[in-house]
A and B are shown apart, each in its own frame.
Chain A
């Protein structure tokens, strides 16, 4: 049982990374990015392409390529928000849903065209198979532990950014009341662009780690979106620690399901999601406002 919970927490770390970008974009501009999962896969393929372009797949090189993708993701997110998504925001949530849904289809087909439907992985020089033994019976993978650590650091960093920096203050201000924020002289479209830029750095991190942990193929995106979405909803919109908690609950539930029957894991996750949606639609840890 302990092992199942620990595996669930490790899986929850991965789901946290899937979900943080979603949580950030929804929190700042009430935009649901339905291409979230596809952008994660795009990030993974960007690292794969970078590594194959560099030739040799030494672990040091892979790490450098993955880090080099982050500023690219930042710039891409900024430009995407400025040129495309800002135009879809308004009282009606439908335009942004339709546009990101369209992006999702475009990305899937683009990746299919460029990389074929074969599943691929980011070569890590054996890192993905290394483990550390805990006692006689329990062994934990090094890579899942790394993923969990990155998820915890990313959540803490985001929370700190929101609570303590001028940029975080402007994120909260435009989220609270865009009109008044603009009256103060804030450029809401620019603030939104920075939020999406940061979300895309998180998306690229999630993609790189997903590609190292397992294989990715162009059609994987919608499944990842579903997990990200479930984590955000279970945790409660607008709180990053809530997102982390939601991801952990989802991860543990899925592991318990897998333990009972290999076909039940994902299904168990959906059931917990639906139960939370029915009993507590605002999520378990919604942001409390004065």
Chain B
């Protein structure tokens, strides 16, 4: 089966500093893949490269067999890749509903609209006219997630949904995942919470210092393998 999204030897730079040293990654349609790794391992840079926020060579990223590396972010979202940015990044002067409507700028056809989102997160319907940033952290994350869904993407990229949130709130947000993937959505999550990442994903990539240090089915990887790949202790034999 052809990969929906793949990268080959993806390298990325922040100014002069190299953040990614040749990432090979592939994603099949309908999969939920988690990327884990320590701070500074390059997880966020990787997602930003996929979304067009970090410039990379055209051929290093292929989406539906077409090279999309380095395209403007607007072009990438119109092709069907949407991102929930790290730290949520809601528009402070927009209401909840206006934030969600901004997500629909790309105007792709699909199942997601305001009504469906409000059914998924009823609290947002209640607060639709409140400023986005007046909500609690968890509710803001729902808005950020909803905003990305409003573009009706084929692939949803989520950067640290759990950042700064209480465990119970994290669980509440991940409880929405089955509804999202139930529509056939392909999802990539970057997650610091390894337990949560193993629970919700089918496959895991572990990044370490800009390289993939481990890849495998979430159910088959052992704790030892993961912690070694995570912390960079002497590579283990599988």
Contact = CB atoms under 8 A, between A and B. Distances in A.
Interface of A: 166, 169-170, 172-173, 175-177, 179-187, 287, 289-290
Interface string B121-152: 00000000001111000000000000100010
Given A183-B51, A185-B74, 20 more contacts: A166-B101, A169-B102, A170-B105, A172-B91, A172-B93, A172-B94, A173-B91, A173-B94, A173-B102, A175-B93, A176-B94, A177-B89, A182-B73, A183-B77, A185-B106, A186-B74, A289-B133, A290-B92, A290-B131, A290-B134
A26 B91 CA distance: 18
Name the prevailing secondary structure of the A interface residues.
helix
A13 B92 CA distance: 31
A289 B85 contact: no
Contacts of B102: 169-170, 173, 181, 184, 186
A173 B103 CA distance: 11
Interface of B: 51-53, 72-74, 77-78, 83, 85, 89, 91-94, 98, 101-103, 105-107, 131-134, 147, 151
B93 A185 contact: no
A158 to B, nearest CB: 15
Contacts of A290: 92-93, 131-134
Nearest to B98: A169
B94 A179 contact: no
Nearest to B103: A184
A163 to B, nearest CB: 10
Nearest to A174: B91
Contacts of A182: 72-74
Contacts of B98: 169, 172
Nearest to B108: A185
Contacts of B91: 172-173, 176-177, 180-181
